[in-house]
Amino acid sequence: MNTHSRLAASSSSQTSIRPWYRETAMMIVIGVLASTLFVSAIIISLAVSSDDPLVISEQEYQTLKDEMRGTNAKEPDDDEKR
């Protein structure tokens, strides 16, 4: 056996290359990405399926606007204006 063969044999026995799926850091990265996709799908499904209570119809908007401006209230007399 020559020197090169011994070095190759000794280095391969000392250094074991682990597959990517056995690496802890890789599993953490994949786990974070998978959980992000899962939670995003849940949030999107909830947003699409539920009502938005802040959205009202145009008629309700006009009614509330008139009430806030007081256009439905009694108009003051000329004496009260002065």
The mean pLDDT value of the chain amounts to: 80
Q: What residue has token string 């145009």?
A: 58
More confident call, 75 vs 71: 71
Q: Which tokens go with 80?
A: 């009260």
10 CA to centre of own chain: 50
Residue partners of 64: CB distance under 8 A and separation at least 6: 56
Q: Which tokens go with 79?
A: 């004496």
Q: What is the pLDDT of residue 53?
A: 79
Q: What is the pLDDT of residue 5?
A: 55
Q: Is the whole model's pTM more than 0.85, yes or no? A: no
Q: Which tokens go with 18?
A: 């682990």
Helix (H, G, I), strand (E, B) or coil at 79: helix
In the predicted structure, residue 62 carries a pLDDT above the cut 80:
yes
Q: Using 50, 70 and 90 to split pLDDT, how confident is the model at 15?
A: confident
In the predicted structure, residue 40 carries a pLDDT above the cut 90:
yes
